Amino acid sequence: MADHITEIAVFGGGCFWCTEAVFKMLKGVKSVMPGYAGGKAEDATYEKVSTGNTGHCEATKVEYDPDEISFDDLLTVFFASHDPTTLNRQGNDVGPQYRSAVFYTTPEQKTATEKIIKEIDASASGKPVVTEVVPLEKFYEAENYHQDYYAKNKEKSYCVAVINPKLKKVKEHFAALLNKNNI
């Protein structure tokens, strides 16, 4: 049996601890890596990116099997699990490093993202989506201590107060997309 071909999607949805934990719950997701994308600085570290001066944002690279989960499904979960209408902010995390962004890797991803943004904007929510839609130029992996943060630190206050409610919402609204082994 041949291996399934995987695709890459990269999302910035505030703190990458949150987006990593959300995407790890989904079926068809083969790997999730927190990191940095979207800036002009030649390298990216947490220390540098957290200043807000590198142009990078905290991002999550998702490797997925499109035969098991579609990019549209990933987008739907992404937009439902953070606030795409707040500029450079998710809750108490403030600064350009926490902006909402989709770093597309194919023209189809760009088209799909622009389509869902138009649909959200046309809904009765009132506030326009400010999610950046730009090509992925480079992705920098986050430091080891950021990887799999939620799984290693579920009892920490940030995980309890911020990540747990996001995961609960995803479990309630997207049960059909969950990987039953990862929840």
Task: Based on the residue annotation, tell me whether 15 is a catalytic residue of this protein.
Answer: yes
Alpha-carbon distances of 5 from 25, 66, 121, rounded to whole Å: 20, 8, 33
- Which DSSP string do the residues of 52-103 spell out, in sequence order? T-SS-EEEEEEEE-TTTS-HHHHHHHHHHSS-TTSTTEETTEESGGG-EEEE
CA-CA distance, 46 to 27, in Å (whole number)? 29
Q: Which of 15, 18, 57, 159 is catalytic?
A: 15
Instruction: Extract the tokens encoding 59.
Output: 């991002």
Residue positions annotated with a catalytic role: 15
